[in-house]
Amino acid sequence: MQPSDLNSILTRLEESEDNTTIFDDSWSQGRSAYGGIAAAFAVTGMRKLLNSPKPLRSLMVSFIAPVPPGEVKVEAEIQRKGKNVTQMCGNVICNGELCLQAMAAFGNPREGLRVKTQFDFNPSPKESGVKFQDHKKRVPGFLQFFEGFWVDGGLPFGGNPANELNLWIRHKTDMTGLEAEKLITICDIPPPVILSYFEQGPIPSSSLSWSLEFVVPPEEVKSDWFYLEFVADAAADGYTQQSGKIFDESGQLCALSRQCMVYFG
């Protein structure tokens, strides 16, 4: 099996004539691949259909079945190609089974109203937080591919109930040329925010659906470090809804996230 390096995994898919790649269980959480890499598979497959580069503007993902380690195949199709916007769908297939379905909109920039919402960007410094590796017994193994810090106390399985989860994070791998996938795999890092309510893991959990909107084109984001600010909006009946903002190190808002997640605890 090929190395676990994310750039290598996605480059293999990008260069594959049959839209396949492979990954090992170091990218798994439980029975399935980490959702961020699974969504990145779909985006890489869809992006290959563009005749010329267009920034990714929005992504909607449905996590249908576990994505097991091994070979994955992406089946992508253009739904509509307009003057500026191309809309596509992408399916991630494993062992002949549909595991993930995504829809994406790629769009050229156009003249229009520019509104800049002001955010109070005053995050706690990285050094004040808890390193991923210092909390590794309670988090999935794929975090080994990232450097990060949990800040402000909302630790998963921290036993300190909080409806907010804040963290600093960056890839350990050079993601040059894979800017959209770089952001996607960052944006899906936060687990269910409500895991802070539990003192011990594991608490099986997974995303059911995910919506990600890019405020600026991923290609224009030059930062390696990102600050993620997530909030649990509601939780009931074993389901939880959460939303998040993803900033670069300068405080620029890069993306908005919204997820419906399920947990068993």
pLDDT of 26-53, one tens digit each? 999 888 999 999 999 999 999 999 999 9
Give the per-residue pLDDT at 201: 66
Fill in the DSSP letter of residue 264: -
Q: What is the pLDDT of residue 248?
A: 96
Full residue range of the structural domain in which residue 27 is found: 6-109+127-263
Tell me which amino acid residue 167 is. L
- Average of pLDDT values for 215-228? 96
- Average pLDDT estimate for 100-113: 91
Domain contains 194: yes
Task: Provide the residue count of the chain.
Answer: 265
CATH number of the domain bearing residue 214? 2.40.160.210
Number of domains in the chain: 1
Q: Which two tokens stand for residue 113?
A: 């109203």
Is residue 169 one of the residues assigned to a domain?
Answer: yes
What pLDDT, on the 0 to 100 scale, is given for residue 3?
Answer: 45
In a domain, 117, yes or no: no
140: phi then psi, degrees, rounded to nearest 5: -65, 155
Whether 181 is in a domain gets the answer: yes
- Please tell me the predicted confidence (pLDDT) of residue 111: 80
Q: pLDDT by residue (tens digit) across 117-159? A: 777 888 999 999 999 888 755 668 899 999 999 998 788 877 7
pLDDT at 1 over 70: no
> For residue 2, what pLDDT is reported?
46
Cβ distance 165 to 129 under 8 Å? no
Question: Which residue in 183, 226, 148 sits closest to 44, CA to CA?
Answer: 183
**Per residue in 164-221, pLDDT tens?**
999 999 999 999 999 999 999 999 999 888 888 887 767 778 899 999 999 999 999 9
Q: Does residue 37 sit within a domain?
A: yes
118 belongs to a structural domain: no
What is the overall mean pLDDT for the chain?
A: 91
Q: What is the pLDDT of residue 197?
A: 83
Spacing of C-alpha 35 from chain mean position: 7
Assess if residue 244 is contained within a domain: yes
pTM confidence score: 0.93
In this predicted structure, what is the pLDDT of residue 166?
96
More confident site: 30 or 94: 94
Residue 18 falls inside a structural domain: yes
Stretch (H or E) spanning 163: none
Average pLDDT over residues 66-90: 97
pLDDT of residue 137: 55
